[in-house]
Chain A
Amino acid sequence: MTNLAEAPAQAAAAPPTHRADAGAPRISVGRVLAWVVLILFILITLFPFYWMLRTALSNNRTLFAHSSSWLPVDFTWGAFKRVLGLSSFAEAQAEGGSGGSIQFWLYLRNSIIVSTAITVGQVFFSALAAYAFARLRWPGRDKVFFLFLCALMVPPIFTMLPNFVLVKDLGLLNTFPGIVAPYFFMTPFAVFFLRQFFLGVNREIEEAAMLDGAGHLTLFFRIILPLSSAPITTLGILTFINAWNEYFWPSLVGQEENVRVLTVALSIFKSQTPQGTPDWAGLMAGTLVAAVPVILLFLAFGRRIVNSIQFSGIK
């Protein structure tokens, strides 16, 4: 390998104008090789998405008769219509699809409500807790923190049933608060993640503010939060993605249509009978459609996350 190091990362952004470094031509072999590997990564990442799209635009009835086709089989928008609740039972059946009724926009709204509530609550409360763990001194702090971390290791089977019974006893079955509750106040991951960043925030600013008589609430809202906006956005997006994809819990707690979320509604495309086969086209179309809002979110905040996560706080 030649010395790639001579080409700083930014050079790639503006390939025509080489920096004054010597040896740009010498670099090419290693660089080309590196690009080949990167492109291979990208291809392996993207190919399944192509396969999803190809399947989503296929007709289930003929899909397997042409399983080796790399193009949509018997091209149809039928699967997307099924997902958006635009096709009748008969139409769905004619294409080998699942015939459940889907009120797409209602379920989309529910998903947005649930995911937004979880994201806002979890990130905010976890940030408060992380501040207490990172910036405040109190007896037993590290022990409590380790206890919080232990929650990461609690097998889900422990929490599911008691939480379900609790939500039921509180009369919250089939309500948004019931679906949101277990994720609303904290997750160990969120606390852990934010604590790492808060540890890294420069103490001098804080101490200066303290000398000016600022309290911890002021410090938290005026200094820590703004300085950590990048990791908080990152965590927010990750939380949103996870909440968006959450399936098992909402399927238990949020049966009713007025609170049913998209993942639960779209599970109609998975196999319904013990030996049945999924509505492949519907499942893939549903997955792609359900991913759109998250992709939009990512487009809106992506640059911010990707470019500005600063791990200065890892200590």
Chain B
Amino acid sequence: MNRNMRLLAGLALIPFVVTACGGGSGDSESGGAAKGTVNYWLWDANQQPVYEKCATDFHAKNPAITVKVTQKGWDDYWSGITTGMVSGTAPDVFTDHLAKFPDYMNKKQILPLDEFIEKDKIDTTIYEDGLAELWVGNDGKRYGLPKDWDTIALFYNKKLTDAAGLTPEQMGALAWNPTDGGTYEKAIAHLTVDKNGKRGDEAGFDKTKVKTYGLWMEGSGTGPGQTQWSMYTATTDWQFTDKNPWGTKYNYADPKFVETIKWWKGLADKGYMPSFKAQKGAQWSDQLAAGNVAMATNGSWMIGAVFGTKGITPAVAPTPIGPNGKRASMFNGLSDSIYAGTKNKTAAWEWVKYLASPACQDVVADAAVVFPAIKTSVPIAEAKFKEKNIDVSAFTVHLKDKTTFLFPITDHGADVEAIMQPAMDAAMTGTVDAAALVAANNQVNALFAQ
């Protein structure tokens, strides 16, 4: 038995990654005409029918290529992609996310598209400004073509704002500052109601027995604070990193950042927003539906869920105007990337090209689930939302006014997140401790010093 054990131990030394290395090597069939099957993955079940329609249309135009659309929920999706990459079986084309793409790029798991783009003369200026550049790596190469975008706005329950005497016009003109919170905080306080019916700005308000919160907190926001605090911090002219994309120094220690978080946490201390422990559980949209909260900042991808809810009157206002006199919203988007290990590069590219073309994005726009990336497709989506009686101007205003900023794209994304999640959670559970944020920031920046 001892000998066998040694033999087995020897075998164990042969890593199994041999298959995974196939990705970068030469592609024998890249010269031939595109044909065969392309496996395509996405995670949003609501969008699956739309992309299946795109796939059918695509097949009609390119009968030699069949696209197989597979949907997997968020968590399974990424573990599936990773396992697939390790074993060389990842889908040929998949929906990519900004938080994941730098890792895949650095590890050479996705293909640069420049050659194809050049060959087929793709115009990357047809997309909303800045979207295409999100997918350019720090090596200057392009790793995806944009498919959609999202911005942040203030969802609210119109029944509750009506009862509080706040008009939609007022809701659309709220202003915020980190010192006293401005008209924004006044509205939040007024919308907060305790069990005895006292409003947050009335004498005798009991902050320990809140029935309806003015504003919802959806977790601490961890590193990017996309739907939690980034629309405030950006109006103080605070930036995540020294440059974006591909910054190498984070600014979580900046007093402007700390001040904003202190104000935000203050809302919870005053009882206008649930405390960190009270918000843990059901989703904010469910809390909105249950009448437990009047307003919540969140992204355009939630339009469908919120406006589909019965029993409340949903409405949307733009995010508040900040100290710099402007609004701000993170501008984020998804793209389609090609797996480096695909056995069918040319067909995969044909499909990516089609996904990023008006032919498919108009179909996406028509479904009015998300905003398509192509400028000329956006009005179609707007019109479709209007048909459903949903005013989406609170989301599009940021594009018109150019008040968007980008998701911080850097290396070490997952490690930054692993440091900032507990740090921000701690800030929101206890007190916002400037020193602790400085320490976390140092830890984050140390990642880039290596």
Question: Residues of A at under 8 Å CB distance from B?
Answer: 59, 61-67, 74, 89, 93, 96, 98-100, 140, 160-162, 164-165, 168-169, 173, 251-252, 255, 267-268, 270-277
Contacts and interface: CB of A to CB of B under 8 A. Distances in A.
Among B19, B79, B83, the one with the most A-chain Cβ atoms within 10 Å of its Cβ is: B83
B89 A168 contact: yes
6 tightest A-B CB contacts, nearest first:
A65-B311, A64-B289, A277-B283, A64-B286, A272-B45, A64-B290
Given A65-B311, A251-B80, A271 B73 contact: yes
A151 B351 CA distance: 45
A250 to B, nearest CB: 11
Given A65-B290, A272-B43, A275-B298, 10 more contacts: A62-B310, A64-B309, A65-B289, A89-B49, A100-B71, A140-B1, A169-B19, A272-B44, A275-B218, A275-B299
Contacts of A160: 83
B80 A252 contact: yes
A98 B302 CA distance: 14
Contact of B290 (A61, A67, A168, A274): A67
A277 B80 CA distance: 21
Contacts of A277: 282-283, 285-286, 305
Given A65-B310, A96-B309, A162 B16 contact: yes
Nearest to A64: B289
Contacts of B298: 275
A277 B48 CA distance: 17
A271 B70 contact: no
B307 to A, nearest CB: 10
Nearest to B71: A100
B86 interface: yes
Contacts of B299: 275
Given A61-B310, A168-B87, A272 B71 contact: yes
B301 interface: yes
Interface in B281-319: 282-283, 285-287, 289-291, 298-299, 301-302, 305, 308-312
B286 to A, nearest CB: 4
22 contacts: A63-B286, A64-B311, A65-B312, A67-B286, A74-B310, A96-B305, A96-B308, A96-B309, A98-B46, A99-B46, A100-B45, A140-B1, A161-B83, A162-B16, A164-B86, A165-B87, A169-B19, A252-B80, A267-B76, A273-B301, A275-B283, A277-B283
Contacts of A165: 16, 19, 86-87
Contacts of A251: 72, 76, 80
A64 B46 CA distance: 20
Given A161-B83, A272-B46, A276-B305, A66 B73 contact: no
Contact of A273 (B44, B89, B282): B44
Nearest to B299: A275
Given A64-B286, A89-B49, A273 B74 contact: yes
B306 to A, nearest CB: 11
Contacts of B302: 275
Interface of B: 1, 16, 19, 43-46, 48-49, 70-74, 76, 79-80, 83, 86-89, 218, 227, 282-283, 285-287, 289-291, 298-299, 301-302, 305, 308-312
A231 B285 CA distance: 49
B388 to A, nearest CB: 12
Contacts of A98: 45-46
B289 A255 contact: no
Given A62-B310, A64-B309, A161-B83, A268 B45 contact: yes
B218 A267 contact: no
A268 B286 contact: no
Given A67-B290, A272-B43, A275-B218, A93 B283 contact: no
Contacts of B312: 65
B45 A274 contact: no
B334 to A, nearest CB: 11
A99 B310 contact: no
A201 B74 CA distance: 50
A62 B291 CA distance: 12
Contacts of B45: 98-100, 268, 272
Given A99-B49, A251-B76, A276-B283, A93 B308 contact: yes
B185 to A, nearest CB: 25
A89 B70 CA distance: 16
B100 to A, nearest CB: 11
Contacts of A173: 89
Contacts of B46: 93, 98-99, 272
Contacts of B48: 99-100
A67 to B, nearest CB: 5
Nearest to A94: B308
Nearest to B43: A272
Contact of A270 (B73, B218, B287, B291): B73
Contact of B70 (A96, A255, A275): A255
B79 to A, nearest CB: 8
Nearest to B41: A255
Contacts of B282: 64, 277
Nearest to A89: B49
B127 to A, nearest CB: 22
Contacts of A63: 286, 289
A168 B17 CA distance: 13
Nearest to B78: A274
A74 B74 CA distance: 29
B212 to A, nearest CB: 13
Contacts of B73: 267-268, 270-272
Contacts of A100: 45, 48, 71
Contact of A252 (B1, B16, B71, B83): B83
A216 to B, nearest CB: 22
Nearest to B298: A275
Contact of A274 (B74, B83, B286, B309): B74
Nearest to B288: A64
B398 to A, nearest CB: 19
A93 B283 CA distance: 19
B308 A61 contact: yes
